[in-house]
Amino acid sequence: MVYAQSVRERVRDDLVRLVHRGMSVQSYWRAVSDALDGAVPSEGSCLMTMDPATMLPTAEFVENGLPADSISRLVDIELREPDYTKWVDMARAGTTAASLSDATAGELDLSRRQREVRRPGGYSDELRVVLSSSTGTWGALTVFRETDSPYFSLSEVRFLSSLTGLISDGLRRALLLDDACADRADTGMLVLDPDDGVSLANREAEQWIDELGIGERAGTRLPLVIRSVAGQARAIAGRAEGIADVRLARARVRTQTGRWVIVRASLLGEGLLAPVAVLLEAARPAEMAPLLADMYGLTQRERQVTELVAQGLPTSQIANRLHLATYTVQDHLKSIFAKSGTGSRGDLVARLFFDQRATSLTALSAVPLHNSSQGA
């Protein structure tokens, strides 16, 4: 047990470093697969990127997977027919990871894709992971085992579930970096040398810097948030193995015009002298909900109530879900309305979730906050 825990801690450390190393999506997937294999052995893996608006697959990266002529049937089942642990069903249920063996109670052939496609191809259990964050579902990871291998354990499922946010953040960074390099997205990208000198900047990055402002301190070349996030990326890359630092190199900041931007940083290579890529992207509505909850001072329980309100649950169901008395939920709602300055559930949802979609206010997705003032 102690050995297994140490292996998993090492895998988590490796993933933190990978998230902050600027790589293409394909390179990131291969590195993540290699890291995970140390704690959750498998005979193959598949990473799919998805359109977060529709959850339709947009690209796939496969190692030791099924032949191409089997994919059409898998897609048909996924999009049109009922089956176990489908991606959309997992996302709607808030399930981040699930094994086919657990979902079918060990009767894998209850799954249509298993009996029609996977078993004839020599595969047994699979473990699916939905790669979601506050910005949406950007992809999905599957690891799978062949016929003679044991099923995935519940411990392995829980471990991968605990890594979802971390792996998702790395995928989002890789997608942004690919798009920025290809000039396909409204994403600002800076490349900084070890002294925070700008060696490359696209037009969008220059616009974000102008909007953020650099402050009035003599000699300042970049907004403080960019220097802070770049420094955190270097610190993560250089920290000793096993020394926990859950702060990701990412921050939300409000510009001088009132817009919010997400700033992320990753090393382009290895070592402390490697250049750092800094990505700047307009914050999506769902990303702002946890921040607004912080600003209103909602307690952990009030956040849980708010999430369920945003999902459309009535007071009685919220009480059942949280194991509370109905009047206790009503008291929480009164407090939430008072703190947020809202007068109804509809007003609350509109205030916290601009696009009317619930997001997690309780997950460990909070990131450091900055404003555009450059005092330090």
d(CA 34, CA 355): 37
Residue 166 shares a structural domain with residue 204: no
Residue 335 shares a structural domain with residue 244: no
Q: What is the pLDDT of residue 1?
A: 61
Three-class secondary structure assignment of 147-208: CCCCCCCHHHHHHHHHCHHHHHHHHHHHHHHHHHHCCCCCCEEEEECCCCCEEEECHHHHHH
142, 176, 210 - which closes a domain: 176
Provide long-range contacts, Cβ within 8 A and 24+ apart, for 84-88: 84/110, 84/111, 85/111, 85/128, 87/50, 87/55, 87/128, 87/130, 87/137, 87/140, 88/55
375 located within any domain? no
Q: What is the pLDDT of residue 243?
A: 43
Residue 242 shares a structural domain with residue 195: yes
Residue 39 shares a structural domain with residue 170: yes
What's the structural domain count of the chain? 3
Residue 267 shares a structural domain with residue 316: no
49 located within any domain? yes
As averages over each run of 10 residues, the pLDDT of the chain (376 residues) reads: 78 89 89 91 90 76 82 83 91 90 97 94 95 79 93 95 90 84 77 90 90 75 87 78 58 81 87 88 70 78 85 88 92 91 82 53 46 40
pTM, two decimals, is 0.65
Residue 192 shares a structural domain with residue 310: no
CATH, residue 191: 3.30.450.20
Residue 10 shares a structural domain with residue 158: yes
Residue 217 shares a structural domain with residue 146: no
Q: What is the pLDDT of residue 307?
A: 80
Q: Copy the structure tokens of residue 79.
A: 């999009």
CATH, residue 334: 1.10.10.10
d(CA 57, CA 75): 9
Tell me the β-bridge partners of 131.
Answer: 139
291 located within any domain? no
Residue 152 shares a structural domain with residue 260: no
357 located within any domain? no
Asked if residues 329 and 322 have their Cβ atoms less than 8 Å apart, the reply is yes
d(CA 47, CA 170): 13
Residue 33 shares a structural domain with residue 145: yes
104 located within any domain? yes
CATH, residue 23: 3.30.450.40
27 located within any domain? yes
| 3 state DSSP class of 132 | strand
Residue 45, domain extent = 2-176
d(CA 275, CA 22): 10
